[in-house]
Structures are given as structure tokens and as C-alpha cells.
């Protein structure tokens, strides 16, 4: 499955700098608003040391990590929901993403202008939230008028359920809350919510862009953001984008790790960001491993074996017979599929098997 994250925020908060750190794209980064107009597209590998270990054992012809698509979206300003700045384009680009990486400026620098004249990440967050909420309110009220009519005049039970959900969304939005704060009652509501494509229902990771001195421990701006989002169903990550850009330029692994250690960090912010996005979306990884290829595949937590097989090829899911499953730890311990099989550690699983993070799988199918 393809994961697409959109980097959003006000102009000049470090979005394009962050994009360049984590993606294979190169976005223009400059000290003026709307430096980014068309969305910049890039991709990055999902860091996973387990894939490196499997590759060392199998010595495959190729090793293929999972990837994340990254979109650097033009900066938003007040009035975007009504078309101000690059508003309509901005909102359309967000709608196409799976998750939002909301960059907040949490550093002082007199040489970098702020669109509102001063540094206040909580205010900046509220500006973006308000514009997305206004757009969602338009969407919800328009849809609600239609389904209410279907529910009352046509007696449509499904329309009644959708109307109930839309009413709860409308109430939250009118209170200045995002749709993701509304608790969903069951799987049916989760599916309805997904099909509405509401902007404020998307999972969000707040990325606090700090100076180098605050990379490990954060600062007062970060503390303010933590307090502001404590009741949201959202994640928060502290990263020094400018410093990460410098780290990304260091080719030698040992030198990179030494730089990180000096900052008091065990992993780069980029690694933590991608892993955070995975966790935010409830994603996990399974592997295929052999002499030809070692590869990481992305699925949702709770997916069963046929769904995982379908990620590789739709025919695998349609004609699914069974899956041969090796636990990662067993493969590392026994060093080969044959040795795992001989030790009786290979599981034979059917359609109801719930795939676990790190499973190494081989699918048998017939189409």
C-alpha cells in the first residue's frame, strides 16, 4: 500500500527544509511567503533495521524497503478556506494525503520573517486548524442537508446513521474542534468517516521545528504546543529541521551517529518522523525474504493474511490458499528458511490469521 504524508503549516516555518531532509525531492527553500506554490513531491525509505539484518543473512540480489511519499504543500494563511493566498489549491492537496505533518515554528530567528510578525506556534496551529475546520463545516453542512432529506422522506436507515455522524461532526466543528476529536462508535461509523474525506479527520503529527540547542529537550514553545494538543488524537515530534538538513549531507554513517550523539539524540529526527507517521496511521511491516529479494511490505495493524497477500499482488488475495509464516526472531536465530522448517518453527496459517509486525511470509495461492 502507498502511504502519502502532506507537510503543511504557515509560510516560512520550515516545511520545505524538512521536506528536503526526508525526501528524495529538492524543494526551493527561501525567506519569503509562498516560496512553495506547486506541491513538491518526493519519497523516502521507511527505516527498519530488521530488513538490513534479513539482507545480511539472505544475501539477496536486491533489497527493497517500504517507502513513504512526501508532499510539501504551499503555506496556508488566514482566509484560505475562502480562497485567500493559495487556499483552494492548498486544501485540495491536503485532501489527497493519508496523514498530515503539521510543522510549527518553535524557534526565534530575527533573520527569518514570520507571516504574522512574531513566533507563536499555538496561534499558528489555530490559524491552520480554523481554516481546515471552516472548510470541513461547509462540507458537512452540505452533505447533511442531503442525507437528512433521504432519512426523513425516504426512510433510508443508512442515511439516518450518516446523518447522526454528520450532526456530531457539525457540533464539534462549531465548537472549534477538529473532526478527529469525535469518538466513533463502531466499524461502520469508521468506514462512513473515511468516505467523507474530511480534512480535520486525517491523522496529524505536529512537528515542532526547533533550533539546534533544543533538538533533544525541546523548549518553552514546544511545551506550549504539548499543552494545546493534549486533548487531541494527535502525535507530537520535536525536530531541528535545519540541523537535520546538515545531518542528511553527511555520507559516513559513523560521522552521522557522532553528530547525533553530540546533540543528545539516538536517532535522527527523520527516522523518528517516519516511524511516528507509521504509528499514527496504525501501520506495520511484514517481510518476504529469499535469495532473489528481501522486501518490506506495509499493511494496517489487524490485517489478515489474504489482505497482506493482496499487497504483493491482487491474484495472491483472490486465490489465497494458505501462508507460511516465520517469526523474525526465529529466522534470525536459525539463519535460513530450511533450518526454521526443520526446527518446526514455521507456522502454516489460513485466512483468519492476523499478521503480526515483523512476520516473514510466503503465500500459496491458486487463480
Q: For the segment 58-91, what is each residue's pLDDT rounded down to a tens digit? A: 999 999 999 888 888 766 656 544 554 444 556 7
Specify the pLDDT at position 30: 40
Using an 8 Å Cβ cutoff, are 85 and 34 in contact? yes
pTM of the model: 0.80
The closest alpha carbon to 131, from 99, 173, 103, belongs to 173
Q: How far apart are CA 313 and CA 322, in angstroms?
A: 15
Q: What is the pLDDT of residues 149-200, one digit of tens each?
A: 888 876 778 888 999 999 999 999 999 989 988 999 998 999 999 889 898 9
Q: What's the burial of 348, exposed, middle or buried (CB within 10 Å: 0-12/13-18/19+)?
A: exposed
DSSP three-state, residue 125: helix
Q: Chunked in runs of 10, what are the mean pLDDT values of the chain (367 residues)?
A: 80 83 53 47 86 96 90 66 50 80 90 77 92 90 89 80 94 92 90 90 92 90 94 86 84 83 82 83 92 94 95 94 97 95 96 96 92
Give the cell for residue 121. 506556534
- Residues with Cβ within 8 Å of residue 213, at least 6 apart in sequence: none
Amino acid at each position: 500500500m502507498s502511504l502519502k504524508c502532506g507537510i503543511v503549516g504557515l509560510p516560512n516555518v520550515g516545511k520545505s527544509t524538512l521536506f528536503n531532509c526526508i525526501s528524495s525531492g529538492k524543494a526551493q527553500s527561501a525567506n519569503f511567503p509562498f516560496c512553495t506554490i506547486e506541491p513538491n513531491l518526493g519519497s523516502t525509505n521507511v527505516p527498519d533495521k530488521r530488513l538490513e539484518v534479513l539482507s545480511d543473512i539472505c544475501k539477496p540480489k536486491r533489497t527493497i524497503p517500504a517507502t513513504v511519499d512526501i508532499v510539501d504543500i504551499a503555506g496556508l494563511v488566514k482566509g484560505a478556506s475562502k480562497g485567500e493566498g493559495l487556499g483552494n489549491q492548498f486544501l485540495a492537496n491536503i485532501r489527497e494525503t493519508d496523514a498530515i505533518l503539521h510543522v510549527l515554528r518553535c524557534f526565534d530567528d530575527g533573520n527569518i520573517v514570520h507571516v504574522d510578525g512574531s513566533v507563536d506556534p499555538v496561534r499558528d496551529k489555530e490559524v491552520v486548524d480554523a481554516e481546515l475546520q471552516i472548510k470541513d463545516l461547509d462540507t458537512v453542512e452540505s452533505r447533511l442537508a442531503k442525507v437528512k432529506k433521504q432519512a426523513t422522506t425516504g426512510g433510508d436507515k443508512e442515511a439516518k446513521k450518516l446523518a447522526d455522524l454528520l450532526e456530531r461532526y457539525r457540533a464539534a466543528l462549531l465548537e472549534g474542534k477538529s473532526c478527529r476529536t469525535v469518538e466513533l462508535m463502531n466499524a461502520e461509523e469508521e468506514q462512513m468517516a473515511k468516505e467523507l474525506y474530511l480534512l480535520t479527520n486525517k491523522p496529524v503529527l505536529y512537528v515542532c521545528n526547533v533550533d539546534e540547542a533544543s533538538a533533544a529537550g525541546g523548549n518553552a514553545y514546544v511545551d506550549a504546543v504539548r499543552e494545546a494538543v493534549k486533548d487531541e488524537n494527535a502525535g507530537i515530534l520535536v525536530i531541528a529541521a535545519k540541523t537535520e538538513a546538515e545531518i542528511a549531507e553527511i555520507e559516513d554513517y559513523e560521522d552521522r551517529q557522532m553528530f547525533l550523539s553530540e546533540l543528545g539524540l539516538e536517532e535522527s529526527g527523520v527516522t523518528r518522523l517516519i516511524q511516528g507517521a507509521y504509528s499514527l496511521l496504525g501501520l506495520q511491516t511484514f517481510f518476504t525474504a529469499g535469495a532473489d529479494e528481501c522486501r518490506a511490505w506495509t499493511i494496517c495493524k489487524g490485517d489478515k493474511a489474504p489482505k497482506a497477500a493482496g499487497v504483493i499482488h491482487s491474484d495472491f488475495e483472490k486465490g489465497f490458499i494458505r501462508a507460511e509464516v516465520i517469526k523474525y526472531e526465529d529466522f534470525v536465530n536459525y539463519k535460513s528458511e530450511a533450518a526454521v522448517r526443520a526446527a518446526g518453527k514455521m507456522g502454516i496459517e489460513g485466512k483468519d490469521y492476523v499478521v503480526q509486525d515483523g512476520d516473514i511470509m510466503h503465500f500459496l495461492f491458486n487463480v
